[in-house]
Structure 1
Amino acid sequence: MTTDRHGHRMTDTGAEALEHYEHALDDLLFFRPDVARHAQAALAAAPGSVMGQVLAAYLGVLGTEEKDAAAARKAFGRFRTGFDEAAATRRERMHLAAATAWLDGDLHGAGRVLDDLNIAYPRDALALFAGHQRDFLTGDAARLRDRIGGALGAWNRDDRHHGPLLGMYAFGLEETGHYERAEEAGLAALAQHPHDVWSIHGVAHTYEMRGRFADGIRFLDDRSREWSAGTFLTVHTWWHYALYALERGDTARVLEIYDAAIHHESSAPVAMELLDAAALLWRLHLVGDDQSARWARLADAWESRQDGAHYAFNDVHAVMAYVGSGRLAQAERLVRDRQSWVAEAAPGVTNHAMTADIGLPVCRALIAFGRQEYARAADLLLPLRHRLHTFGGSHAQRDAVQRTLVESALRAGRTELARTLLSERIQLRPVCPYNWSAQARLEEQLGRADRAADARERAAAQAAGRG
């Protein structure tokens, strides 16, 4: 029987298919678009390859694209109907169970199977990658860290896949607040593979969360050849670059990046890229920067997708685009559609709880914000602020919603709430120009001109890199 590079047996997988599978796995770990081509070639060479079929199934769900997931579910179902699982290895059967659960919409069930798989087979890179992405999509920061941390001890540092795993670990460390350790791990991963864009991404997050915007810009500039084109993370990394520029008050640079790299006429309507565009424009919207023409183009892109209920995190960003473009009726239609789906969907589908508990209240709050019903927006968001992670994304991504709560409190004149929220934010992230600018507005509302001036001065100093 064929075995992969780490000694795992591969049922019904010949030498040619194995070569394509290994190429595909490399492409996946390094976020290269060639992964699809090599995965298809592996199945063309060995249609009965269990791991080839599993890889194709995971590729169908990782992008949170409803149509891709539906196609993958259909193809995987055909394979499983004619396959005798007794012929598969224990590891392969666990992968079959995890992929089936995920395709059926049960991300938590898939995660539990992958937990067991990672314990039994800690050198299964595909299982670790799939689990890591599942943890990210469900906002499970502790697992995002510990799934990889628990396996790293079984890997040799000279293994080609050790670096990408270390980069995954860096992101998990960052999402659980271990910023210095995360930076250290990410830079160590990049010392092994400078083109590892997930590691670049993890380190970029650490600079964002610590207010090291100038360092973040220098870091990305120094590695622009590795990340700025031709990867699945290109747009998202440009989004991080734009966040640095935004905190430094360089709106012109933000819009230059937006138009050149984040969303333009040639942009594909890919959910993970459209949500970056929406999250960036929404931050500008919150500070009163009108980008109506850009909002209109972005809302058109979201509307062209005709998405059903698949991933609540995407729905929230679609609603941002509809509200930002003034298409409140379209936003409300999406909410009504998701309400109907929640009433009918099986509770075992993970997106059911994501939509009912987080997605719908956030969407309603965004619509209320668009209608200038700021007190209602605050009331809708306040109970969610410590549970937002349960519908996925990173701290940096979810901060657009947290800032909406701050802005709603300020505009509603809810000064006690605004004071509490801003105190929380400033204690956690003392270097953040937005926090201090918002604090200045709160002090003005309270009639404390001297404190407002001090807060504005601190915001300006931090934007200039002096704070």
Structure 2
Amino acid sequence: MVTDRYGHVLHEGTREGAAHLDRAVEALLFFSPELVPAVADLLATDPDAPVGQALAAYLGVLGTEPADAAAARARFEEFTARVDRTALPPRERLHTAAAGALLSGDLHRASRILEETSLAYPRDALALFVGHQLDFLTGDAVRLRDRVGGALSAWDLDDPHRGAVLGMYAFGLEESGHYAEAAEAGTAAVERNARDVWAIHAVAHAHEMRGRFADGIAWFEARTADWSADTFLTVHNWWHYALFALEAGDTDTALRVYDTTLHHERSQGLAMELLDGAALLWRFRLDGNGCATDLTGRWKRLADAWAARMDPPFYAFNDVHAVMAYAGADRVAEAERLVADRRAWLARTAPGTVTNRAMTAEIGLPVCEALIAHARGDHAAVVDHLWPLRRRLHEFGGSHAQRDAVQKTLLDAALNSGRLDLARALLSERTALRPASTYNWLTHARLADAEGDPARAAAARLRAHELGWSVGVPV
């Protein structure tokens, strides 16, 4: 009888294959590039092992790359054609069902099956990790927290992978608003494994959501060697670092991160990296930090990279960032073509068939239309599109920090369209949550200027200046 490191019996597994599976799952938990050869070795050694095939299928979708998903679907169909799924043991049957649901585009069903798996097998790290990532992709903050919290007690304090589970729990805590607890859990995970980049990322989010930008910079800089290279999360964590620098008014550092890490001539053009690039440049467009550098060339190269992908409908969150790049590059016609393509897809796709359909119809396309309107200077239309959605944006995935670019777009449009009542309410919300945000105080100054109160505007700018200095860089 062959088992994995967690004690689960492996159907059709060999000892060599089990070692490759353990290696692959550990790499997955810590976002290590070792994952790629480990999965290849696993499939070559035990091609009919259901958990190994499910792992490969999961990876084909989680990267949100349509070509990878298509290849994973073909491989998984070959596997299921030669296997009697009804004869599989319960755990393997659950993983096979979850993988099939995910490859068919039903993220919510896959999530539910993996939750059922975690109830029966709370030490199944693969089920926990993939379910956790699906909760992120679908914006389900409560499940992001409780899926892992419900399994945590099954992990002994001395288990080498308890830290990875804590890191996942930290991110779920942060996304559901428990910022102090998230920082505590994430820090504990990093103390167990300094290279736990998901836990490092979770603590960075906790600092971001509380407006503690100096703490965020210090957190990253104290452990640069552990997160800044050779992980699947490297680019995204650099994006977080750039956000902290931008908030501090250090536009030079933020642009240097963009040029050296987020998007450059050696970038692979992966969707998750391109969306980080678009999200950072869009903030430059909105933040009002006085960037003296012309961003035209960067926008053009980024838009070119999105255009080269020619993605089919797959994940609305990616579509929004492609449109963001086109809008930033003043290539509105390309943005409109993408929107038209997605509308045509909606017309020929039945409701309830794939999760991305509702994401696109209800959230993705209205946000795309808002970005196009912003590029045209039609700020009233931006407000019309985004104001009704501002509390529903989580439904198309991403984190609070990622979706904040859209929230800032609404605030900018409210100011530019003269909807000062909306701007005042939005700023009040933001400042109550992040009183140390330089962006918030610079925007307070814009609002005061619009209301004809120069004294209040000057006081707000002074506050932003002081906050910038507290981080170490003047605004």
Task: Give TM-score scaled by structure 1 length.
Answer: 0.98
**Count of residues in correspondence between the two structures:** 467
Give, in angstroms, the shift of residue 459 of structure 1. 1.5
Instruction: Tell me, in whole angstroms, the C-alpha distance in 2 between the residues paired with 1:237 and 1:277.
Output: 12
Deviation (angstroms), 1:87 = 3.3
8 Å contact from structure 2 (residues 139, 394) kept in 1? yes
Cα distance between partner residues in 1 of 2:254 and 2:26: 33
In structure 2, C-alpha distance between the alignment counterparts of 1:218 and 1:103, rounded to whole Å: 40
Q: Do the aligned partners of 1:148 and 1:168 also contact (CA within 8 Å) in 2?
A: yes
- Residue 401 of structure 1 is matched in structure 2 by 406
Cα separation, 2, equivalents of 1:149 and 1:132 = 11
For residues 23-52 of structure 1, the C-alpha deviation after alignment (integer angstroms, 9 at most, x for no partner) is: 011100000112121111111011111111
Verify: 1:346 aligned to 2:350, yes or no.
yes
Runs of 4+ in 1 over 4 A off after TM superposition: none
CA shift for structure 1 position 287 = 3.7
Partner in structure 2 of residue 432 of structure 1: 437
Q: Secondary structure at the match of 2:470?
A: coil
Matches within 5 A, 1:283-294: 283-287=283-287, 289=291, 290-294=294-298
Q: CA deviation at 1:466?
A: 7.3
Output the CA distance in 2 between the equivalents of 1:318 and 1:458: 35
1:173: which partner in 2?
Answer: 173
Q: How far apart are 1:262 and its partner, in Å?
A: 1.1
- When normalised by structure 2's length, the TM-score is 0.97
Tell me, in whole angstroms, the C-alpha distance in 2 between the residues paired with 1:346 and 1:313: 20
Supply the distance in 2 between the matched residues of 1:287 and 1:51 (Cα, whole angstroms): 46
Matches of 1:459 and 1:343 in 2, distance apart? 48
Give the structure 1 partner of residue 150 of structure 2. 150
Q: Deviations over 1:154-202 (max 9, x none)?
A: 1112112111110000001111111111111001001111111001000
Structure-to-structure mapping, 1:327-342, within 5 angstroms: 327-342=331-346
| 1:451 matched residue in structure 2 | 456
- Code of the aligned partner of 2:250: D
Structure 2 gaps, min length 5: none
Gaps of 5+ in 1: none
Are 1:161 and 2:165 matched, yes or no?
A: no
Match of 1:51 in 2: 51
Conserved 8 A contact 2:287-2:439: no
Supply the AA of the counterpart residue of 2:138: T
Is 1:463 the counterpart of 2:468? The answer is yes
Quote the residue 1:137 is aligned against: 137
Choose which of 375, 385, 397 in structure 2 pairs with 1:380. Answer: 385
Q: For the Cα contact (< 8 Å) 1:285–1:291, is it kept in 2? A: no
* 1:386 Cα deviation after fit: 0.1
Counterpart of 1:35, as a letter, is L
Give per-residue Cα distances to partners, 1:111-134, cap 9 Å, x unaligned: 111111111110000000000000
- Give secondary structure in 2 for the equivalent of 1:86: helix
Residue 303 in structure 1 maps to residue 307 in structure 2: yes
The question of whether the paired residues in 2 share the 8 Å contact of 1:60 and 1:68 is answered with yes
Local SS of the residue matching 2:359:
helix
Residue aligning to 1:190? 190
The equivalent residue for 1:322 is 326
Q: What residue number does 1:94 align with?
A: 94
Q: Is the 8 A contact 2:62 2:133 kept in 1?
A: yes
Asked whether the equivalents of residues 247 and 434 of structure 1 are also in contact (C-alpha less than 8 Å), the reply is yes
Cα-to-partner distance string for 1:210-267 (whole Å, 9 max, x where unaligned): 1221121111111111111110000000000000000000111111111111111001
Contact 2:210 2:433 in 1 (8 A): no
1:133 aligned partner, one-letter code: Q
For 1:364 and 1:221, locate their aligned partners in 2 and report how far apart those are by CA, in whole Å. Answer: 38
Query: Are 1:228 and 1:234, in contact at CA under 8 Å, matched by a contact in 2?
Result: yes
User: Identity over the aligned pairs, expressed in percent?
Assistant: 60
SS at match of 1:277: helix
